[in-house]
Chain A
């Protein structure tokens, strides 16, 4: 859970940093997207790095889901008779929604790939022009896409708020001060990530990026 999660968080941060290139304009953003396909050249043939990364991420996602499924099934088996009276779990909202939040994120990732990687669900869907695709995606009349995107990004933030702390604990973080640091770090990293990802649709809606 922790190892695969950390890999995915690292990817999300790189992904977010790449997204922010959109504020430099269409040409730098499209050029950045093209550059991603040339990483590792000439050692690696074109797009090979990208496919290696996609494979690693897919394995991480599958591992993450498999571990979560094992935990959920064990939890179900460990309490066959439910409580008649059970107030909401007192821990954080984030900790409570890890499983269903994860499902929402997975559904979003599927949509997101079909939208901006393959272009299948994108109104423009032009392979070499991600800038145009993004701008078309978040057009004001497609508010529901923006809403879904925002919800999914906030779900990721909530997921990481508990996830990053939980990963630290799983990997052996064991001091009281360290716990405080881990919790604050998780919160800050989640907020920065959510802000970074939401800045793009925000910029498109407000016309900063068009």
Chain B
């Protein structure tokens, strides 16, 4: 496959960037999107140019590191797919593909397509965990969890924190991410003691990080590689309201 790529190039956080056009030739339709970028980078290195910086790690769709806007859609055109699991057969020979980093004030560009998602870490630090004494792992059946709750909690827990929800949101809101974390712990018995404080603190951290507000547009869940449901945002709102009343 021969493609024309327009990629956002930015040398550093404080520098201005621009879209640069590259011709990519001889790409296998079975290559992943990241492998296609690897091929381009090898060529750039041989030509003595600076390779395109992009985040990646597991390349099997579970780590949440990779992520870029492909033709304006987070993680590209395939639903429930991370960029590393997106294959070039979903594009046509001769296509022009625009590649941009996540755009959000809370996710500053580090270089090219790499953004700093530390804002998500700060939301987690505000309460996305259970304060419990560490020690040996408890028996699996020590605390019974109803199956529907376990399933719903697991569904929320599949969030890999890639940031696609923020990138796609017309408001630049991190609501789906925060809601997934709040819902994941709030559905389990272990998460109950800190349920109220957790939602209040995590939402405060989210707002402090400079994310926008949620207007239930639903773009986030559409692009989410893990299909985190929008209903979790309702759960967060419900928990938030109850916690606010008690505090």
Q: Which of A78, A80, A81, A92 interacts with B171 by CB under 8 Å?
A: A78
Q: Are B231 and A85 in contact (CB under 8 A)?
A: no
Is A24 at the interface (CB under 8 A from chain B)?
A: no
CA distance A175 to B148 in the complex (A): 12
CA distance A166 to B233 in the complex (A): 11
Q: Which of A80, A95, A170 interacts with B218 by CB under 8 Å?
A: A95
Chain A residues whose CB sits within 8 angstroms of the CB of B103 once the complex forms: 79, 81-83
Would you give the shortest CB distance from A142 to chain B, in whole angstroms? 36
By Cβ-Cβ distance, the 5 closest A-B pairs, closest first, are: A172-B238, A78-B172, A78-B212, A174-B234, A85-B98
Would you give the shortest CB distance from A74 to chain B, in whole angstroms? 5
- B-side interface residues, number (CB < 8 Å): 37
Please list the residues of chain A having a beta carbon within 8 angstroms of any beta carbon in chain B: 70-71, 74-75, 77-87, 89-92, 95-96, 98, 162, 165-166, 168-176, 178-179
Chain B residues whose CB sits within 8 angstroms of the CB of A173 once the complex forms: 231, 234, 238
Closest to A177 in B: B231
CA distance A4 to B241 in the complex (A): 16
Interface residues of B in 166-222 (CB under 8 A from A): 170-173, 210-213, 215-219, 222
Q: Are A83 and B231 in contact (CB under 8 A)?
A: no
| Given A91-B219, A95-B217, A95-B218, A174:B231 Cβ within 8 A | yes
Q: Are B216 and A169 in contact (CB under 8 A)?
A: yes
Q: Which of B100, B212, B216, B219 interacts with A83 by CB under 8 Å?
A: B100
Q: Which of A71, A80, A84 interacts with B215 by CB under 8 Å?
A: A71
Chain B residues whose CB sits within 8 angstroms of the CB of A178 once the complex forms: 231, 234
Is B114 at the interface (CB under 8 A from chain A)?
A: no
Closest to B238 in A: A172
Is B104 at the interface (CB under 8 A from chain A)?
A: yes
Chain B residues whose CB sits within 8 angstroms of the CB of A75 once the complex forms: 170-173, 212-213
Is B232 at the interface (CB under 8 A from chain A)?
A: yes
Closest to B109 in A: A81
Q: Are A71 and B213 in contact (CB under 8 A)?
A: yes
Is B106 at the interface (CB under 8 A from chain A)?
A: yes
Stretch at the interface among B31-39, B41-49, B69-77, B136-144: B69-77
Closest to B73 in A: A87
Q: Which of A77, A85, A162, A174 interacts with B100 by CB under 8 Å?
A: A85
CA distance A179 to B106 in the complex (A): 30
Is B29 at the interface (CB under 8 A from chain A)?
A: no
Would you give the shortest CB distance from B215 to chain A, in whole angstroms? 6
Task: List 7 extra interface pairs beyond A79-B104, A83-B103, CB under 8 A.
Answer: A75-B212, A75-B213, A77-B105, A78-B171, A79-B212, A95-B215, A96-B170
Chain A residues whose CB sits within 8 angstroms of the CB of B158 once the complex forms: none
Q: Are B219 and A172 in contact (CB under 8 A)?
A: no
Q: Are A179 and B215 in contact (CB under 8 A)?
A: no
Interface residues of B in 89-130 (CB under 8 A from A): 98, 100, 103-106
Q: Are A71 and B72 in contact (CB under 8 A)?
A: no
